[in-house]
Amino acid sequence: MKKLFILIMAVIFTACNSPVEQVGAGFFAAQPGEKYITGSDDVTDVWVNYIDAHNNRDLEAIMSLNSDSISITGPDGAKTVGKQAHNDFLKVWFEASEPKWEIYWAMPYKAVSKDESWVIAGHWVDLIEEGKEVRKAQMIDARIVDGLVDLFYVYQLDVPNTEDTE
Distance CA 22, CA 114 (A): 12
> Which tens digit of pLDDT belongs to each residue from 112-136?
888 899 999 999 999 999 999 999 9
Decide: 123 and 104 in contact? Cβ < 8 Å: yes
* Dist CA 152 CA 129 (whole Å): 23
pLDDT band at 35 (very low <50, low <70, confident <90, very high): confident
In this structure, which amino acid lies at residue 148?
L
Calpha distance 166→152 (Å, rounded): 36
Q: What are phi and psi of 56, to 5 degrees?
A: -90, 0
CB under 8 A, 24+ apart: contacts of 1-8: none
| Domain definitions of the chain by residue range | 34-157
Residue 83 confidence (pLDDT) above 90: yes
- Is the full-model pTM beyond 0.85? no
Say what the pLDDT of residue 120 is.
Answer: 97
CA distance from start to end of the chain: 84
pLDDT in tens, 152-163: 999 999 998 776
Domain 34-157: give its CATH code.
3.10.450.50
Q: What is the pLDDT of residue 163?
A: 65
The beta strands (E) that lie in 46-163 are given as 66-73, 79-81, 100-111, 116-129, 132-145, 148-159
The pLDDT assigned to 72 comes to 98
d(CA 5, CA 55): 64
